[in-house]
Amino acid sequence: MLDQIKETTDFLIQQIRNYKSPETGIILGTGLGGLVDAIDIDVQIDYEEIPNFPVSTIESHKGKLIFGEICGKQVVVMQGRFHYYEGYSLSQVAFPVRVFKLLGIKTLLVSNAAGGLNPNFSKGDIMIISDHINQFPGNPLIGKNLDEIGARFPDMYEPYDKTLISKAEKLASKLNIKTKKGIYIGLPGPMLETPAEYNYLRVIGGDAVGMSTIPEIIAAKHADLACFACSVITDICYGEIKPVNFKNILETASNTEPDLTILFKELINQL
């Protein structure tokens, strides 16, 4: 695995050799790829062209790795992520984060679309993730430790950086962007949950549920990166549960995209 990570890193270093190295990594989730329009792009590479990189199989994920500037800060952006339900191992899902570490990033920003478990949440809300509950069947750190990337037993007491959360909350207030804060639960998917499962997830402390993010955050904390993540609440998973239309999920994510883009831009500006 480490040899593959290094091979991929070396390939990308060659692609950006005429530009500055990225300081911040960004993973954009379902229907939330619009931040790309705010990038002064240096290099753009399809995932298929990158050695050892998985490939997005979800239509709403563009499958491009973009290097450039946002607010004068160097970034590397995944326009589309990988999911466990696509058939990838959790190590493969987290593979890009480890490459980002070797590229030199210090901070990881992540977005996702999620179902709202908290009855105080509404469709279109932005939830800043304060903590998570891992319900995936394992994690990307299982197996031989990658000593060059991180310690064998990383501490997860603060998976989401409190300083970044505080900055984001202050920025959101200043920009008149309404945000909530809560705990994200990650499940394998691809099926959505039953009403009984939604009730259970709420009972164990979840405010939102989705099928991503946690593997990447675990790998990022192992690599000693500062992490910030937020969910766009695209459907309601409490009360009288109704069938979910994926088209509506994409529409809700798209409608919230401008606020999320502004919030991410301003947060990057303060890094």
* Pairwise CA distance, residues 158 & 110, whole Å: 16
Are the CB atoms for 20 and 74 separated by under 8 Å? Answer: yes
Q: Is the pLDDT of residue 11 over 60?
A: yes
Q: What is the pLDDT of residue 240?
A: 85
Residues 207-265 have pLDDT tens digits of 999 999 999 999 999 999 999 999 999 999 998 888 888 888 889 988 999 999 999 99
pLDDT class of 34 with cuts at 50, 70, 90: confident
Residues 6+ positions from 112 with CB-CB distance below 8 Å = 29, 30, 32, 184, 210, 212, 213, 229, 230, 231, 232
Residues 123-180 have pLDDT tens digits of 999 999 999 999 999 999 999 999 999 999 999 999 999 999 999 999 999 999 999 9
Count the Cβ atoms, other than its own, within 10 Å of residue 3: 8
Single out the residue of 31, 49, 95 nearest to residue 248, CA to CA. 31
Flag whether the pTM goes above 0.85.
Answer: yes
Residues 63-109 have pLDDT tens digits of 899 999 999 999 999 998 999 999 999 999 999 999 999 999 999 99
Q: Is the pLDDT of residue 57 over 90?
A: no
Domain 2-269: homologous superfamily in CATH: Nucleoside phosphorylase domain (3.40.50.1580)
Paired strand residues for 39: none
* Pairwise CA distance, residues 18 & 21, whole Å: 9
Domain boundaries, the chain: 2-269
